[in-house]
Amino acid sequence: MPAADAEVLTRLLAAFNAHDLDLIMSFFADDCVLETPRGEHPWGTRFEGPAAVREGLAQRFRGLPDVHYAEDEHWVCGDHAVSRWLLTGTTNDGEQVRVRGCDLFDLDEDGRVRRKDSYWKIVQA
């Protein structure tokens, strides 16, 4: 994979919208880390290594089976990148989710994701 650019992040988001874990993981480096918005630590929940990252992502698809990312924008600056998006979906309990969020990425020399740190707004009715 060549060095990352905004088009690579657009393709990564398309893989997320397809819920294609194999394709998603092809964007990640062997030493990858995923940090999710929720958890008992200041960084949320951390998954380290391809198998753990894959499981962390699978949890997202299980918890929001129809999750979809839209209204996305992407920036790359050297070995760092940002994706901003609108996440929508329905939880297994029928709760509708519509929230703005972003991912902060650390990239390796080949443009693959070493770290994906996800954030999203806390929406209260």
Q: pLDDT value at position 55?
A: 97
Q: Compute the distance between CA of residue 72 and CA of residue 86 in angstroms, rounded to an integer.
A: 7
Which tens digit of pLDDT belongs to each residue from 54-66?
A: 999 999 999 999 9
Distance between CA atoms of 116 and 82, rounded to whole angstroms? Answer: 9
The domains found in the chain, sorted by start residue, are: 6-120 (3.10.450.50)
pTM of the predicted structure, to 2 decimals: 0.92
**Mean pLDDT split into 10-residue runs, the chain, 125 residues:** 75 97 98 95 96 97 97 95 97 96 96 96 85
Residue 103, C-beta contacts closer than 8 angstroms, at least 6 positions apart: 82, 83, 85, 116, 117, 118, 119
Q: What is the pLDDT of residue 4?
A: 63
